[in-house]
């Protein structure tokens, strides 16, 4: 007799005696596998949402820093108007448009900072939209997960009822 091992909190029904011959138990196994797949998909999307939220916080920090630099720009052009290397790398890594005076210049005037701030704000909006869409996906995956678990439980109950009825006849 095979040992029944839990998988992600779900019993491996195919290892149960008679499972290989019972249509209802086979259906339950299928339903549980589909539930597990949907749970894994939901967890992957949740990780994506978490990463997007971390990036959104980083963008918000860069927007604040950029606004401070824009305000201070007329006071001291070279000290306050230089874009920090990490911010510049963030723009580059995420494909954000940055206003350049010269291709390798990291000093910006007020209008250039305004352009850079708009670029960050647009990116933040995109992240927010992506996060909302991913939340819809998670809800969908979890709805399917619940449906498959319900189907598995129903199939198991029907199988148990059938076995109980057969036992009473015997």
Q: What DSSP line would sit under the chain, residue for residue?
A: -PPP-EETTEE-GGGSTTTTT-HHHHHHHHHHHHHHHHHHHHHHHHHHHHHHHHHHHHHHHHHHHHHHHHHHTTT-HHHHSBPPHHHHHHHHHTT-----SSTT--B--HHHHHHHHHHHHHHHHHHHHHHHHHHHHHHHHHHHHHHHHHHHHHHHHHHHHHHHHHHHH-
Say whether pLDDT at 84 is over 60. Answer: yes
- pLDDT value of position 79: 56
Quick check: 152 and 14 in contact, CB under 8 A? no
Say whether pLDDT at 9 is over 50. Answer: no
Would you say the C-alpha torsion 91, 95, 99, 102 has a positive or negative sign?
positive
- pLDDT value of position 126: 97
Percentage of residues of the chain with pLDDT beyond 90: 52
């Amino acid at each position: 007799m095979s040992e029944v091992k839990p998988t992600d909190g779900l019993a491996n029904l195919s290892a149960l005696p008679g499972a290989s011959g019972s249509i209802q138990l086979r259906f339950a196994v299928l339903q549980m596998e589909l539930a597990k797949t949907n749970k894994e998909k939901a967890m992957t999307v949740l990780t994506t949402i978490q990463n997007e939220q971390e990036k959104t916080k980083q963008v918000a920090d860069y927007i604040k820093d950029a606004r401070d630099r824009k305000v201070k720009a007329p006071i001291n052009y070279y000290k306050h108007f230089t874009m920090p290397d990490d911010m510049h790398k963030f723009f580059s890594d995420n494909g954000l448009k940055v206003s350049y005076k010269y291709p390798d210049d990291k000093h910006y005037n007020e209008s250039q900072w305004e352009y850079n701030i708009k670029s960050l704000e647009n990116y933040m909006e995109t992240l927010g939209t992506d996060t909302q869409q991913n939340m819809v996906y998670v809800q969908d995956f979890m709805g399917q997960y619940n449906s498959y678990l319900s189907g598995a439980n129903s199939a198991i109950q029907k199988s148990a009822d059938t076995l109980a009825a057969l036992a009473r006849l015997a």
